[in-house]
Structure 1
Amino acid sequence: MILKSSYIYIKGVRFHAYIGVGDLEREVGNDYLIDLRLQYPIEKAMQSDDVEDTLSYAEVFELLKAIMKRPAKLLENVAGNIVDELTEAFPKIEGIDLKLTKLNPPMGADCDGAGVELHLINDKTQ
């Protein structure tokens, strides 16, 4: 068998953060959900059983946690910071699928959430 692609993912990570256009959202905060899938070469780790040969999702989580602590106005800005900082910290990342959802958006709608979704390819690894 030939490994064509491999991914590390973190699904359904919840944060309370201070993101929003309105002052109240940046004061009170809201709940957010992140789904993240990182295309990453894990073939060596499949053989070695050594965490040094893969991408630690614990390290990825710590990066997400640090970014989500920073107040911002737009989800787009936060999503951009996530992908920029992930690719800087882990240059072997080949692609990123990110979904950032605000769980209780202040728009008067009965919905599960609203947010942004990004799909990126790291042209430096392709």
Structure 2
Amino acid sequence: MDQITLTGMDFYGYHGCLPEEREKGQHFFIDLTIYAELQKAGETDDLSATINYASVYETVRAVVEGEPVRLIETVAERIAAAILREELGVQRLDVTVHKPSAPLGGPFRDAAVHIARSRS
């Protein structure tokens, strides 16, 4: 299956379990790998035969900048569900939500959740 990747999408959200995370917010970085059939788009140079990257980006933005949730697992699930619902050519996708400012109490580079979901 062909792939489209969007990496390092940076949005500001208010997700987390702690009150300060809900009040101050923080950056969340999203990586996506979308699996779809892209041969027709490549052969015809027809935008309507591929996945609209700008639409996917706005879908991700709406989730991350939208209603706060406690877990980045929930953010990832909402992103996957929205993309599978809206982008008909997507067969499968991998979503990684990075939370590099998670309050862990010590130095670390990144906290992230990765999920893989398919169209049923």
Task: State the TM-score, normalizing by the size of structure 1.
Answer: 0.89
User: Partner of 1:38 in structure 2?
Assistant: 34
Unaligned runs of 5+ in 1: none
* 2:49 corresponds to 1:49: no
Does 2:78 match 1:75? no
Measure how far apart 1:93 and its partner are: 1.1
Q: How many residues align?
A: 119
- The Cα RMSD (Å) is 1.0
User: Please, what TM-score do these two structures have when normalized by structure 2?
Assistant: 0.93
Once residues 61 and 121 of structure 1 are traced to their aligned partners in structure 2, the CA distance between those partners, rounded to angstroms, is: 19
* 8 Å contact kept, 1:9–1:57: no
The reply on whether 1:117 has 2:101 as its aligned counterpart is: no
Whether 2:103 is the aligned partner of 1:106: answer yes
Q: Structure 2: any 5+ residue segments left out of the alignment?
A: none
Structure 1 CA distance for aligned equivalents of residues 62 and 76 of structure 2: 13
Contact 2:50 2:89 in 1 (8 A): no
Task: Look up the match of 1:8.
Answer: 4
**Residues 28, 64 of structure 2: 8 Å contact kept:** no
Hey, which bits of structure 1, 4+ residues long, moved more than 4 A?
none
User: Are 1:33 and 1:102, in contact at CA under 8 Å, matched by a contact in 2?
Assistant: yes
What SS is found at the alignment partner of 1:61?
A: helix
Corresponding residue for residue 62 of structure 1:
58
Do the aligned residues in 2 keep the contact of 1:7 with 1:39 (CA within 8 Å)? yes
